[in-house]
Amino acid sequence: MNLATSVPLKQIDPVRYQIPSDYDPGMRVPGRIYANEKLLVDILKDKAVHQVVNVAHLPGIVGYSMAMPDMHWGYGFPIGGVAATNIDEGGVISPGGVGFDINCGVRLVRTNFSEREVRPQLRTLVKELYHHVPAGVGSQSGLRLASTELKQVLAKGSRWAVEHGFGTPSDLEATEDDGGIKDANPDFVSERAIDRGKKQIGTLGSGNHFLEVQVIDKIFEPVIAGELNLFENQVVLMIHCGSRGLGYQVCEDFCRLFVQCLEKYQIVVPDRQLACAPVQSPEGKRYLAAMRSAANFAFTNRQYILHMVRKAFETVFGQTWEELGIHLIYDVAHNIAKIETHSRDGKNLQLCVHRKGATRAFPAGHPELSEKYRRIGQPVIIPGDMGRNSYLLIGIESAQETFYSCCHGAGRVMSRSRAQKEFKAHELIKELEARGIIVVAESLDTVTEEAPGVYKDVTEVVDVVDQAGLAKKVCRMRPIGVVKG
């Protein structure tokens, strides 16, 4: 199949397309794109498919250069890109395969409320959430940390927050990597990055980040939903944000360094945005330690936001958050590279798995899952936009072909500049309110840039993931209250 691109795409089945490895002389593996024909039309409008080809050039890459159905053009890797490299065979790590917003991620939080119980207080609740959680470009938290304290955050992750009264041990159990990636080393994080992070713990930022009040409107897997204490018409919260300016600076610092590594290690890539270094090299180890530190910052950021969400609910409803049942279902990382053991052709390999705009989706029984989820599999949270559904899925064994990875969202189809021309913020807010969705935003520009029309239909994306066997749908949520930057 060849739709408006010079890259040949062979359809393997209704949701898999393949780029042969002989398409470009430098490709070490084929490319694989997960999509249906409808999504492919939008995918082929930018150069993301060419980036799938470029990623296939990385030294040590194993299996395929992959892209999820929410894929679109990014820095080096496509957003939605997945690639694993074999560490023992000179496999590399690339900051472009992680992205600038290191551990941009999502956490899903349950409550005891039904929609009927929250509706009378919804506008007050959304305003209270907006008051408690700073949002927008350059937003700053009331929590101000000295450099020495911030380095503790980078080393410990969410455990630092719990130790300081901003959560409970059960929150850690419900967070990927227990909220703190091991072997993080703040010493490899620049002072510039540290300075940028000092005032940003507990802030949403801007762009596609949000805090949403949602309602579960459909359950696909009642048994798993029951295990997670989820039910139809239940009010839940979704928090979507990342490592803010600190993570951006870490990526920027190492992108510059890794360009120099190309010559040092005689690595040839078709795009300098794929600058990389062997995982086992001094530079590779330094980046891993700094990236993990930034990831821990992001986990802590979302944990502190959860703490403030609980306070907002307590203010509005006059009960403790425990009485209100505000418990974390799970927190997943996007934009991350991890050292994982995967079986390929009967052998266990140590791989560096890049997930850029992609979500880890471990199945039931996986040893890296906490006991709480080992029986059912890892929850996978897929946010939509502020006017459309979001989904909760669960990891399954058949996702082994993607190194247990799946999509992370809907995926943009329209630039922010074009969105500013196409949509009017006040009209969007009125339209959403007519549908029962209350929106409060720091900037009207953000509302315009994040209009529902700028994204793919997340239902189409999730259906591809489900059909491809990368994760299984558990339940669907619709937004009723949105806080944006």
Length of the chain: 485
Residue 347: is its pLDDT beyond 60?
A: yes
The residues, any chain, with a CB within 8 Å of residue 226's CB and separated by 6 or more, are none
pTM, two decimal places: 0.96
CB atoms under 10 Å from CB of 350, counted, come to: 14
The pLDDT value given to residue 5: 63
State pLDDT tens for residues 260-281: 999 999 999 999 999 999 999 9
Strands 472-484 and 438-441: parallel
Flag whether pLDDT at 95 surpasses 50: yes
- The residue-averaged pLDDT of 404-424 equals 87
Check if 72 is active-site.
no
Q: Tens digits of per-residue pLDDT, 1-37?
A: 444 468 999 999 999 999 999 999 999 999 999 999 9
Q: Can you say whether the dihedral through the CA atoms of 219, 223, 224, 229 is positive or negative?
A: positive
List, in order of start, the domains of the chain with CATH numbers.
10-484 (3.90.1860.10)
**Of 57, 132, 240, 408, catalytic:** 408
The residue-averaged pLDDT of 360-388 equals 94
CB of 90 within 8 A of CB of 58?
A: no
**pLDDT at residue 452, rounded to an integer:** 80
C-beta of residue 108 within 8 angstroms of C-beta of residue 225:
no
- pLDDT tens-digit profile of 445-466? 888 888 888 888 899 999 999 9
Tokens of 130: 């907006």
Distance CA 465, CA 459 (A): 10
